[in-house]
Structure 1
């Protein structure tokens, strides 16, 4: 836990899930720069935080925790970020309900008087969110964005200018910048170009011919990534009624292909991104063969919200970076959660880059791990819970 010093006071903040070994802070210089600017420090005139204040992309709640007295609305795509925000607000003694937490899929306020934007990593997500927010912006809306200099590009500024109005940037301070945008009432509101869809080609194995839908901010939204394509060529064979989890589902193409190959299965799609879950549901329902599949879509921290010994198969393409930090902590939580959630004899199938060495973790957790398929870049691994190997299934042939 680290202490953020702001013009509104000092706040102990953490990321989520809280890990005392994690040295990464729940804020950075871009958050500090924006908070100083709002209070009129460093020569700027103070910003009047009145009316409806909306904060978009506040990664761990540092911004809304600091300005909670102004009753802001937070809009976030991250379940983990929202959980961190709740914990940080409670730790800061903020009264319940003082900050309203919305996902990127929720309806935004009808009128926005102050719009604060923490620039996301994904330019597409920024584009989509600015389109969604634009109808609520009026001529008097104060719009200020913030980000590290590596996150703010000419394309970032052009988005603000094209969707909201004239835009300029500040000087860099501690490698962070501010974005100042003046709403232009003459700009005609336009619809977001998201979501987008494409159809998988014949070389996508079990996914061949599927329509894939991607909302803004999803990994490889324009095409299928090569790791997922490799996994689709080697999905497990059907074994009758069972419960299958697409863990870290992204656009849901793996779970949809599994539903196609296992018509009697019940599917559970899990991701920490609300945009991903919306994409997964759209992908499943867009394909006639899976449109009526029994499925749930769960925002969560891996399998932490799933009962123990309740699933038969987990399919997982774990990220090795999360919220711009390169780490294997997310993969480890996914593997540990899978072992807990699987029934005895249940299986975890993992696709990953060969160099990541996931087999070491899986053998430590499950006591076993075998290679289903591999190529020079990727490896598909299978770990079975318990000693009953009789239920192990083979991969589909073909590459």
Structure 2
């Protein structure tokens, strides 16, 4: 197990879910750079006095920052429930009481006052914009704002957001391909500029050849392809299965929930479960489904199935052998790393959750070769549709097979 050595102590840290085969660390040079700066300063700036000050950490990916700073009782704000789980595990491993860190989601009300704001720059510029707007009212003239990220993650547009929403901004010199961002907040910060998130739009007739046409889509910041329908989802929408025998459907990695909502339209009376590890995504799916369901309450189109919304580790909380259909457009990135680990975990969870005879429908880039993994896992895989970029694959759980982890 890798250890993060900092001026605040040395910590054994892991990602979540913990996998001994995973060689990706739970921190990087950007986290180390920020912690060194807080303790000893960088160039003409710092160190940062933390004792007795209200510290908030935005976007701490696996809890490395708040674990090191737990003695200052920080608030952690993240969009990922997996980051929260990793933080809990890392705090426990470090012998730190869990209540030493206050865990908040990006959907929660921000702290009333922030004296030190530490920002781990997220991959999504939209999420950064939304969160800076939400946190700005909590800042004051004495607030210290320091961001961190790898050089490849910090762009001119990143600095422009800090400057526009919070105040004057500059960067440090690069160290080990990482940079710091220093921002001096105006008072009041964020005044005069409304937060543009969430975005709402209505799908036209080109959205999946019918089942999604007319649906209102709500996208909170940070959701994949937040300002439009991504082409993989659009392709799957044009081939969604429908039938009265489908009782329980899961939109796995639901994003804005458009797949599950369109499936509800095609399968009247079916219950739809929207599952994602992102708080922003599940909030989006809830709003998208609500926009569809409200006008049809009590009508034949909506039926009586209803919906359930789960923020968690995929289908870990869904009972085995309880689902008829799983729809999945899996991600193939984890932060900056390209990996199929998340997709493979989703496929295994889907097989466990499906009833015998239940089906997993997957859309993915053709070059990813998901058909090989699905055949190995399910014993079968059928090509439903394909184009030069995407394939839609269907795997069926065997009639005699009961849910088990691969």
Instruction: Provide the TM-score with structure 1 as the length reference.
Output: 0.94
Q: Distance in 2 between matches of 1:133 and 1:290?
A: 37
Tell me by how many angstroms 1:161 deviates: 1.2
Give the drift of 1:40: 1.3
- Cα displacement string for residues 208-257 of structure 1 (whole angstroms, at most 9, x for unaligned residues): 12111111011111111111111001000122450100000001000010
Check if 1:157 corresponds to 2:179. Answer: no
| Shift in CA distance, 250/111, structure 1 to aligned 2, threshold 3 Å | same
Aligned-residue CA RMSD (Å): 1.6
**Displacement of 1:46:** 2.1
Give the distance between the partners of 1:200 and 1:45, measured in 2 at CA.
Answer: 50
Q: Say whether residues 1:317 and 2:329 are aligned partners.
A: yes
- Decide whether aligned partners of structure 1 residues 155 and 290 sit closer, same or farther in structure 2, where only a CA change above 3 A counts: farther
The within-5 A match list for 1:40-119 is 40-42=40-42, 44-49=45-50, 50-119=52-121
Compared CA separation, residues 186 and 319, structure 1 to 2 (3 A): closer
Query: SS of the residue aligned with 1:228?
Result: helix
Answer whether contact 1:256 1:290 (CA < 8 A) is retained.
no
Equivalent positions of 1:103-142 (< 5 A) are 103-142=105-144
2-structure distance, mates of 1:224, 1:322: 21
The equivalent of 1:3 in structure 2 is 3
Give per-residue Cα distances to partners, 1:110-131, cap 9 Å, x unaligned.
1111100001111110000000
Q: Which residue of 1 aligns with 2:379?
A: 367
Q: Is the 8 A contact 1:163 1:189 kept in 2?
A: no
Give the match for residue 239 of structure 1. Answer: 244
> 1:385–1:180: structure 2 CA closer, same or farther, 3 Å change rule?
same
Aligned with 1:36: secondary structure? helix
Q: Structure 1: how far apart are the matches of 2:333 and 2:157?
A: 24
- 8 Å CA contact 2:57, 2:66 repeated in 1: yes
Alignment match of 1:331 (pick from 343, 363, 371): 343
CA distance in 1, matches of 2:232, 2:400: 29
d(CA) in 2 for partners of 1:61, 1:241: 40
Q: 2:246–2:325: 8 Å Cα contact kept in structure 1?
A: no
Matched position secondary structure for 2:142: strand
TM-score by length of structure 2 reads: 0.93
Query: 1:359-379: per-residue Cα shift (whole Å, max 9, x none)?
Result: 111111111111111112111
Whether 1:193 and 2:205 are equivalent positions in the alignment is: no
Residue aligned with 2:153, SS: coil
Superposition deviation, residue 289 in structure 1? 5.2
Displacement of 1:189 after TM fit? Answer: 5.4
SS in 2 for 1:65: helix
Q: 1:285, 1:42 → 2: CA distance?
A: 49
Instruction: Give the deviation of 1:21 after TM superposition.
Output: 1.1
* Kept after mapping to 2: 8 A contact 1:240/1:264: no
Unpaired runs of at least 5, structure 2: 402-406
Asked if residue 267 in structure 1 is aligned to residue 308 in structure 2, the reply is no
1:149 Cα offset (Å): 1.0
Contact 1:259 1:290 in 2 (8 A): no
Distance change in 2, residues 1:290/1:114 (3 Å): farther
Q: Which residue of 1 aligns with 2:404?
A: none
Verify the 8 A CA contact 2:137 2:188 in the aligned structure 1: no
Contact kept in structure 2, 1:134 and 1:189, CA below 8 Å:
no
The structural deviation recorded for 1:303 is: 1.0
Q: Matched residues in 2 for 1:193 and 1:42: separation?
A: 34
User: Against the structure 1 CA distance between its residues 123 and 7, is the aligned structure 2 distance closer, same or farther, given a 3 Å change threshold?
Assistant: same
Q: Secondary structure, in 3 states, of the residue corresponding to 2:140? A: strand
